[in-house]
A and B are shown apart, each in its own frame.
Chain A
Amino acid sequence: GQQLNQSPQSMFIQEGEDVSMNCTSSSIFNTWLWYKQDPGEGPVLLIALYKAGELTSNGRLTAQFGITRKDSFLNISASIPSDVGIYFCAGQMGDYGGSQGNLIFGKGTKLSVKP
């Protein structure tokens, strides 16, 4: 089946540092999304990207949709303790607004912040 390769698997950072994680695929995706999952909860959408080359920000988060449509990255600037959690990339292969909506997820990047 389709896979998204997400890296790094985990990272420990000092509060205030910037964080970067990325996702690659052998297949083209039409929409890329980044989610955060807290322990015992479902994923919550952080950023959605719709066009190749698109760069989008949400507060301290910035994400980009790769030109080849096969990759995406997420940056978190000036990390704080509440950034702890697992971050997932996800892609939708079908057209946005098309008949299919199922998502393919990466395995996640576990972020731990040292206070």
Chain B
Amino acid sequence: NAGVMQNPRHLVRRRGQEARLRCSPMKGHSHVYWYRQLPEEGLKFMVYLQKENIIDESGMPKERFSAEFPKEGPSILRIQQVVRGDSAAYFCASSPRPGWADTQYFGPGTRLTVL
């Protein structure tokens, strides 16, 4: 059973470009969480999605950031018009049930560098 997969592992963008980060949950998991980790910091919750629904986006910046989890395919975190402050590691976690914190499995992350 493959774990949570994220791609790309590393992404370099220039200011003003768009960044698309993909997360494929573990088989059988229909709940996806996105977290951002700044250097020397802990992970900060961004958004929680189920298939085709955004359940909680309380941690998402109000502008430029969006997320989706379509019926088919991976979850996508999209950052438009990136700025240097968006440079961070972005992790997704998947879970078979909401609220089962101990069943959230994390992917290896995408490290975004904005030049």
Q: Which residues of A contact B (CB under 8 A)?
A: 4, 6, 31, 33, 40-45, 48, 88, 90, 92, 94-108
Partner pick for A103 among B97, B101, B107, B111, CB 8 A cutoff: B101
For chain B, the bracket of interface size reads: 20 to 34
A42 lies within 8 A of B108 (CB): yes
Chain A residues with CB under 8 Å of B102's CB are 31, 33, 45, 48
B74 within 8 A of A: no
A43 lies within 8 A of B43 (CB): yes
A96 lies within 8 A of B43 (CB): no
A33 lies within 8 A of B101 (CB): yes
B91 lies within 8 A of A42 (CB): yes
Identity of the chain A residue whose Cβ is nearest the Cβ of B92 in the assembled complex:
A42
Complexed CA–CA distance, A44 and B4 (Å): 12
A interface SS class: loop
B99 lies within 8 A of A101 (CB): yes
Would you give 29 A-B contacts (Cβ < 8 Å), ordered by A?
A40-B108, A41-B108, A41-B109, A42-B4, A42-B109, A43-B43, A43-B91, A43-B106, A45-B102, A45-B104, A45-B105, A48-B101, A48-B102, A90-B43, A90-B101, A94-B99, A96-B99, A96-B100, A96-B101, A98-B99, A100-B98, A101-B31, A101-B48, A101-B99, A102-B59, A103-B33, A103-B43, A103-B101, A107-B40
B99 lies within 8 A of A95 (CB): yes
Identity of the chain B residue whose Cβ is nearest the Cβ of A9 in the assembled complex:
B40
Q: Smallest distance from the beta carbon of A86 to chain B beta carbons, Å?
A: 9
Chain B residues with CB under 8 Å of A108's CB are 40-42
